[in-house]
């Protein structure tokens, strides 16, 4: 099915044909995990869960970058924000994520210099205008945002901006998929792979996971027909007993990905073991700034000592991120934990599973 125009990707007639096909071929009970917070929101917004047969369960995975940022990392951010010589810059979603004792939003309200920016180059501008302070940009995200942050570090070096640093908490998607498959308690029959990340890393980056764990996987776009087509392709594989990696987002994703973006990441970052909320430390799943750019690495510039901490009492965000539970399974959901007063990270972000359930689940 070739769709040429954006409107066609939202066409209810085409969507209905895909739904009818899925219902016709679906016989086995299967669990499909969408590994992208944007997919989670799109699925809820389009009501796709309610349109699929009862044999298909869609579960949300660790695809929200703010949500998977470990509690220890949040506390490290707060430690930096507590320094008088520092200006912390960050994207908006991170502001309200609760740390062990506070949040960036609360610290800013108490007088700390914490600023929301819309790009890393806004943070560079803050550094240029405040030469007496060290600016720390909180680098949270997947392969989608890492290239722009790497580019900001290269620019800072080229422009001799010596008061700009980055705390890199970037995480990589393929190692997380492998970690999920290693968890005995996790039951996944297929992956709906993230579109934005795949634009950068390309389809081939997932092949080792598909081959090793014999798990069907399809890259999907974000419109209703994109998602339904990917679900249909996964159901076809499961029903036929086939395993392959497929691309249902060919208008944006290539086999090799964005080589220029990959080069920028490779020039500035190296892979390291990284903690993930709900999963633990995953080998080679994070990006650390290389030694040649150590002057721009906040972890090198500042001594940051943070104790290991636990999730807020009663919060099951970690289990939600691995598909073991859904937000209604949490005793805090809607009662104590709301978007206005979040207890856990999954309720904070616009891509968080709890936020999606809070906004849309009662309408299904």
With a cut of 70, which residues of the chain have pLDDT below it?
Answer: 1-10, 362-364
pLDDT at 364: 44
User: What CATH number did the domain enclosing 38 receive?
Assistant: 3.40.50.11750
Radius of gyration of the chain (CA): 21
Domain interval for residue 356: 317-363
Q: Is 308 part of a structural domain of the chain?
A: no
Instruction: Mark whether 288 and 343 lie in a shared domain.
Output: no
In a domain, residue 307? The reply is no
Both 99 and 28 in one domain: the answer is no
CB neighbour list of residue 63: distance below 8 Å, 6 or more residues apart? 34, 35, 36, 37, 38, 39, 40, 173, 194, 351
Q: How confident is the model over 194-253, as pLDDT tens digits?
A: 999 999 999 999 999 999 999 999 999 999 999 999 999 999 999 999 999 999 999 999
pLDDT of res. 1: 44
* 275 located within any domain: yes
Q: DSSP character for 306?
A: -
Whether the CB-CB separation of 172 and 198 falls below 8 Å is answered with no
pLDDT for res 8: 65
Q: Are 57 and 31 in contact (CB under 8 A)?
A: yes
Same structural domain for residues 105 and 17? no
Query: Does the residue 31 lie in any domain?
Result: yes
Give how far Cα 24 sits from Cα of 14, 55, 236, Å: 15, 11, 11
Contact predicate 118/135, CB 8 Å:
no
Domain count along the chain: 3
Whether residues 38 and 91 share a domain: the answer is: no
Q: Is 165 a member of any domain?
A: yes
- pLDDT for the residue numbered 7: 63
Q: Are strands 217-219 and 190-193 parallel, antiparallel or unpaired?
A: parallel
Task: Based on the fold, state whether residues 71 and 163 are members of the same structural domain.
Answer: yes
Query: Quick check: is 312 in a domain?
Result: no
Mark whether 148 and 270 lie in a shared domain: yes
**Same-domain pairing of 158 and 277:** yes
Residues 6+ apart with CB under 8 A from 222: 38, 39, 42, 195
Summarize pLDDT for 159-173 with one digit per residue, the tens. Answer: 999 999 999 999 999
Residues 78 and 130 in one domain: yes
* Backbone angles phi and psi of 185, in degrees to 5: -80, -10
pLDDT for 2 equals: 46
What single DSSP character describes residue 312? P
Q: Which CATH number goes with the domain that contains 289?
A: 3.40.50.11740
pTM of the complete model: 0.92
Q: Is residue 310 part of a domain?
A: no
Nearest to 200 by CA among 151, 143, 255: 143
DSSP string, 246-285: EES-TTT--SS--HHHHHHHHHHEEEEEEEETTTEEEEEE
Quote the tokens at residue 94.
């991170």
Same domain, 353 and 270: no
101 and 166 co-located in one domain: yes
Q: Is residue 37 part of a domain?
A: yes
Residues 89 and 184 in one domain: no
């Amino acid at each position: 099915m070739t769709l040429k125009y954006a409107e066609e990707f939202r066409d209810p007639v085409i969507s209905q044909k895909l739904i009818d096909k899925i219902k016709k071929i679906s016989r086995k009970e299967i669990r499909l995990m969408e590994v992208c917070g944007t997919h989670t929101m799109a699925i809820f917004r389009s009501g796709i869960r309610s349109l699929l047969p009862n044999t298909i369960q869609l579960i949300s995975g660790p695809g929200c970058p703010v949500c998977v940022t470990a509690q220890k990392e949040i506390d490290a951010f707060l430690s930096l924000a507590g320094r008088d010589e520092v200006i912390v810059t960050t994207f908006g979603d991170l502001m309200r994520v609760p740390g062990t004792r506070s949040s960036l939003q609360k610290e800013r309200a108490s007088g700390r210099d914490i600023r929301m920016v819309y790009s890393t180059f806004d943070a560079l501008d803050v550094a240029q205008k405040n030469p007496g302070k060290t600016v720390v940009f909180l680098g949270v995200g997947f392969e989608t945002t890492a290239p722009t942050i790497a580019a900001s570090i290269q620019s800072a070096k080229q422009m001799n901006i010596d008061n700009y640093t980055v705390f890199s908490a970037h995480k990589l998607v393929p190692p997380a998929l492998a970690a999920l498959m290693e968890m005995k308690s996790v039951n996944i029959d297929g992956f709906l792979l993230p579109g934005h990340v795949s634009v950068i890393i390309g389809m081939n980056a997932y092949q080792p996971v598909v081959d090793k764990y014999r798990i069907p996987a399809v890259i999907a776009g974000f419109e209703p027909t994109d998602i339904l087509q990917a679900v249909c392709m996964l159901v076809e594989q499961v029903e036929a007993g086939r395993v392959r990696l497929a691309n249902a987002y060919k208008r944006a994703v290539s086999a090799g990905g964005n080589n220029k973006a990959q080069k920028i990441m490779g020039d500035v970052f190296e892979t390291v073991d990284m903690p993930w909320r709900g999963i633990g430390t995953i080998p080679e799943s994070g990006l650390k700034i290389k030694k040649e750019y150590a002057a721009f690495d906040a972890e090198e510039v500042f001594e940051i000592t943070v104790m290991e901490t636990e999730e807020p009492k009663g919060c099951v965000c970690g289990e939600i991120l691995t598909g073991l539970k859904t937000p209604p399974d949490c005793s805090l959901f809607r009662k104590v934990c709301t978007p206005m007063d979040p207890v856990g990270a999954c309720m904070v972000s616009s891509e968080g599973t709890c936020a999606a359930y809070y906004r849309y689940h009662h309408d299904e």
